[in-house]
Structure 1
Amino acid sequence: MADSITDLRSAIEMLGEIDGQIIETDVEVDPLAELSGVYRHIGAGGTVQRPTREGPAMIFNNILGHPDARVIIGLLASRRRVGYLLGCEPKRLGFLLNEAVAHPVAPVEVEADQALCQQIVHRADELGFDVRKLVPAPTNTSEDAGPYITMGMCYAHDSQTGESDVTIHRLCLQGPDTISMYFVPGARHLGVMRERAEALGKPLPISISIGVDPAIEIGACFEPPTTPFGYNELGVAGAIRNEPVKLARCLTIDERCIANAEYVIEGELLPNTYVEEDQNTGTGKAMPEFPGYTGVAPKRVPVIRVKAVTTRRDPIMQTVIGPSEEHVSMAGIPTEASILSMVGKAMPGRVLNVYAASSGGGKYMAVIQFKKSMPSDEGRQRQAAIIAFTAFPELKHVFLVDEDVDPFDMNDVIWAMNTRFQGDADIITIPGVRCHPLDPSADPSCDSSIRDHGISCKTIFDCTVPYDQKERFRRSQFMDVDPAKWVPGFTD
């Protein structure tokens, strides 16, 4: 079924054939806080304030202030649903992406008549142009700095090398033709490209494609060192689909965009031009981020000057709730692939699986399932955890478990901690390491030993059994039967 997916619309159509994976409503909804407030209950999951749950994707067909728009949210807010969309068993998604990164299929440029994203064109020099009216970007909460594009595939190329890159950034609609763009310091390739262009006093042309094949959205979330500078993550999506991503030439800037996107914003990142992210609200807050807290609005964020907005006919806006399970899917599965790749090269066959858990937002926490096959494997599990920190520098906590523990079941992981772990012997701390600036506890105000905001103590929780004690820790063995004999249609 996943073989039929080429864009957002075919993904929606495929999910419509699977019970419980997508719903829609014609009841009017306000995109300002209300839309996300509804979906928080329906299916956000992740680190969202409780009550929440994992549920279906949802399409809103009646958007207040945008009579011709529809908005989809939660497309990737379920690991099972990501499995359907990528044609892979959910627990093997990290392996799928690992293979795709290793064998990318480069994107290709298509002719203008194949650029579905340019069926309707709005140019910034037209009377009454206002990106805020053309793009139905929601806010997550009433405190947000403004409407945010949360699923924009930002695409640009480097002025020095000509190499291209795609990433997802926090984009706030600031005015009729201005959008602010937040960069995590030192963590994104587009940030390097912007700085190089700015050093020359030149704008950086950039396209923002919204509403695309979910394989692109997942692939765009890889980070260094797995995908170093110069690696175009669109090749990951090409490998997943066994077909190159189609790009189209933009109409008002020297750049390309994703040809079958629902919306494309064409613009330029202006050199030496900054705004306060919350200049229109004064709340001091940006939007809810993946750790479950609302981010602080920086005093200086770069600005995109919008040149045009192009769309498909009857476009579908795609958005996410910042701390939802959707972020876990997009950030966490590439994290798993990165760890599998690097640890697999260092010690083949020992790591059986990796889960970037929901409680860590897909970034802060990983569970590594490690198999000790001989006495000399003792201690290698801790080496694997150290390598994981290198594979994904934003990782804060690693839980190590044995092969008989399901790393995707946090109850099982905590069981292993309670029965196979002693705090004075099995905690390994690595203090004073740069992690992620969105962790509010990584700040000198919380602990005077923290030298700068964003520095954390990385911690390993070794919940594995000593190799020479494995028989003593053998789990109770139950008869292996097929319950469908007694409960027809039952599946695990």
Structure 2
Amino acid sequence: MSEKKTTPPGVEVYDLRSAIELLKTYDDEYIETNEPVDPAAELSGVYRYVGAGGTVMRPTRTGPAMVFNKVKGYDDVRVLIGLLASRQRVARLLGAPKEDLGHLLRNSVKHAIPPVVISNDNVPCQEVVHLATDPGFDLRTLLPAPTNTPEDAGPYFTMGMCYAADPETGEHDVTIHRLCVQGKDEISMYFVPGRHLDQFRIKAEEAGKALPITISIGVDPAIEIGACFEPPTTPLGYDELAIAGGLRGRAVELVKGVAVDALGIANAEIVIEGELVPNYRVQEDQHTHTGKAMPEFPGYTGEAKAAVPVIKVKAITHRKHPILQTCIGPSDEHTNLAGIPTEASILDMVERAMPGLVKNVHCPSPGTGKYVAVLQVGKRGPQDEGRHRQAALLAFSAFSELKHVFLVDDDVDIFDLSDVMWAMTTRYQGDVDTIFIPGVRCHPLDPSQDPAFSPSIADHGITCKTIYDCTVPYALKHNFQRSQFLEVDVTRFIPDFKM
């Protein structure tokens, strides 16, 4: 499928500020306020109503991105929330129809452009420099890290692009992690088991060394989307910044840190430089003792971990009047960050194995971008009967944290969950169209994946993966033709009508 560019003529997105300028050209994508806001729970409490969506507790909705120009206690820093909390907005920022984003990202992986290191002269992210050795240095007073709720373990950076190198090979990886501010120069970093940066950290720790790392906040949204690819599409040592390069058609620019031997994103609003300290752990909620971390993508607040690694901050650099970007954990921002790369990974694996069978993939909001995928298949003859279920098995291989796969025919709109449910209602029989795959490792943040929930589950994080085959048997297709309506030009009757 070709990707039709939809970016307005003359508009180019290359950093966060140009992305905001693009959104301002639309009536419904961006708002800002000068009303002072408290970053402790109030900011997220506002946006919960304005535009969070996702698995956030109702009432919520899909709405515009929002900038708070006045943050209590911080004269110079603005906060942006919800930049990617709408699939339509992601499509506009990446310049493609929202239905084609999976195909667009798949193509960007195939045409990846590695990042490049540029000179430190006049780099945007280093217009202002704060060194940890400066008198009075305190990241808590420099940056307004928000808390999502009053019971969070502490303030969190939720949209930081964490970038580090394998201490043995020099290969780089960029990922988004849960980062809790623990002190004036300490940030705890939670790793889901298996994450690549954690492998780098373990290697450095086993050698008794600190791992230099940067956290770039407020970047081109192509970088944020590209950073969320996972194995096998991006194996250990694959630098996902190259995917952002492929999306934009030019290399992401990096710059050497001012205080650590690591690279930051040159056009970032803020870069935190530090080192993951070997053999040093802290209790994630050591200052609040709530037992809770922060709201995570499944819609529940994550458990505070008893012992998490720590980044010792060495410097903070930023643009003048910087914009700190944040998100609400269970909002649709996560759905798009995780789900669109997952769609691309599934499309690529299935297309290589069974060309032409799967037309499109959608990882919808209720599935958090990680747990549910809807595959649109086009059976071309009797030989494709059963192969569509093989495609579902490949989807589980393409993304290991996937829990449920729905298979639907190519006359079903996979981006309309009402249409998917219609297919399940009229083209699915539970006893013959449900395929269970029990005892498979999935994701630890799903609270139902625990022995306390079901005796069939052997350990926390183990699940029963399920395929729901909502397709019509090929031999019966003639009995399942949707009603065909007359094609008309509605604008004759309603001139400003838009689908």
CA distance in 2: counterparts of 1:101 and 1:286, whole angstroms: 33
What is the CA-CA distance between 1:489 and the residue it aligns to?
Answer: 2.1
Q: Distance in 1 between matches of 2:14 and 2:336?
A: 19
| Shift in Å, 1:487 | 1.1
Query: Counterparts in 2 of 1:333-372, with a 5 A limit?
Result: 333-372=340-379
Q: How does 1:314-329 map to 2 (within 5 A)?
A: 314-329=321-336
Structure-2 residue corresponding to 1:78? 86
Q: In the alignment, is residue 150 of structure 1 matched against residue 146 of structure 2?
A: no
1:10 aligns with 2:26: no
The correspondence of residues 168-179 of structure 1 with structure 2, limited to 5 A, is 168-179=176-187
* Alignment equivalent of 1:427, drawn from 428, 434, 454: 434
Q: How big is the alpha-carbon RMSD for the aligned residues of Structure 1 and Structure 2?
A: 0.8
Kindly indicate whether the alpha-carbon contact (under 8 Å) linking 1:151 and 1:319 is maintained by their aligned counterparts in 2.
yes
Pair 1:129-2:129 in alignment: no
Aligned length: 491
Measure the CA separation in 2 of the matches of 1:478 and 1:414: 21
Contact in 2 for aligned 1:399/1:462 (Cα 8 Å) = yes
Tell me by how many angstroms 1:374 deviates.
0.5
TM-score when scaled to structure 1?
Answer: 0.99
Q: In 2, Cα distance between the equivalents of 1:39 and 1:483?
A: 36
Out of 434, 444, 450, the position equivalent to 1:437 is 444
Q: After the TM superposition, which residues 458-469 of structure 1 pair with which residues of structure 2 at under 5 Å, given as runs?
A: 458-469=465-476
Q: In the alignment, what sits opposite 1:331?
A: 338
**Matched residue type, 1:52:** T
The answer as to 2:324 corresponding to 1:291 is no
1:52-71 equivalent positions in 2, closer than 5 A: 52-71=60-79
Specify the code of the residue in structure 2 equivalent to 1:414. Answer: M
CA distance in 2, matches of 1:259, 1:476: 54
1:90 aligns with: 98
Structure 2, unmatched stretches of 5+, are 1-6
Tell me by how many angstroms 1:114 deviates: 3.9
Determine helix, strand or coil for the equivalent of 1:30: coil
CA shift for structure 1 position 138: 0.4
The one-letter code matched in structure 1 to 2:141 is K
* Structure 2 counterparts to residues 108-123 of structure 1, below 5 A: 108-123=116-131
- Of residues 90, 107, 111, the one that matches 1:103 is 111
Aligned equivalent of 1:400, options 380, 404, 407:
407
Gaps of 5+ in 1: none
Q: CA deviation at 1:136?
A: 1.0
Structure 1 residue runs of 4 or more that deviate by more than 4 Å after TM superposition = none
For 2:61 and 2:247, how far apart are their aligned partners in 1?
A: 28
- The secondary structure found in structure 1 opposite 2:202 is helix
The alignment status of 1:311 with 2:343, answered yes or no, reads no
CA distance in 1, matches of 2:212, 2:458: 37
Corresponding residue for 1:25? 33
- Paired with 1:224 and 1:191, the residues of 2 have a C-alpha distance of 14
| 1:482 Cα offset (Å) | 2.4
Note the alpha carbon deviations across 1:278-297, whole angstroms, 9 max, x for none: 00100000000000000001
**Contact residue 28 and residue 62 of structure 1 kept, 8 A:** yes
Paired letter, 2:205: E
Distance 2:489 2:176 in 1: 44
Aligned match of 1:387: 394
**How big is the shift at 1:486?**
1.4
Would the aligned equivalents of 1:114 and 1:259 in 2 still touch at CA under 8 Å?
no
SS of residue in 2 equivalent to 1:349: coil
SS in 1 for 2:173: strand
Alpha-carbon distance in structure 1 between the residues aligned to 2:122 and 2:440? 48
Distance 1:102 1:215 in 2: 15
2:3 equivalent in structure 1: none
Amino acid at match of 2:497: F
What TM-score does the superposition give when structure 2 sets the normalisation length? 0.98
Q: Find the counterpart in structure 1 of residue 494 from structure 2.
A: 487
Instruction: In structure 1, give the amino acid aligned to 2:70.
Output: N
The one-letter code matched in structure 1 to 2:409 is D
> 1:423-451, CA deviations, whole angstroms, 9 ceiling, x for partnerless residues?
11110000000000000000011112211
Shift of 1:385: 0.4
Q: Would you say the 8 A contact 1:219–1:334 is kept in 2?
A: yes
The offset of 1:130, in angstroms, is 0.8
**What's 2:218 paired with?**
211
Worse-matched range after superposition: 266-275 or 445-454:
445-454
Query: Does the alignment pair 1:374 with 2:381?
Result: yes
2:309 aligned to which of 272, 280, 302: 302
Q: Name the CA distance, whole Å, in 1 between partners of 2:198 and 2:406.
A: 32
Q: How is 1:235-246 mapped onto 2 (pairs within 5 angstroms)?
A: 235-246=242-253
Q: Which residue of 2 aligns with 1:181?
A: 189
Which residue of structure 1 lines up, in the alignment, with residue 271 of structure 2?
264
Letter in 2 for 1:433: V
The reply on whether 1:247 has 2:246 as its aligned counterpart is no
Q: Whole-Å Cα distance in 2 between the matches of residues 449 and 400 of structure 1?
A: 25
Match for residue 463 of structure 2?
456
Q: How far is the alpha carbon of 1:102 from its aligned partner?
A: 1.4
Specify the SS of the correspondent of 2:121: helix
Mapped to 1, the partners of 2:203 and 2:67 lie a distance apart of: 40
* Partner SS state of residue 257, structure 1: strand
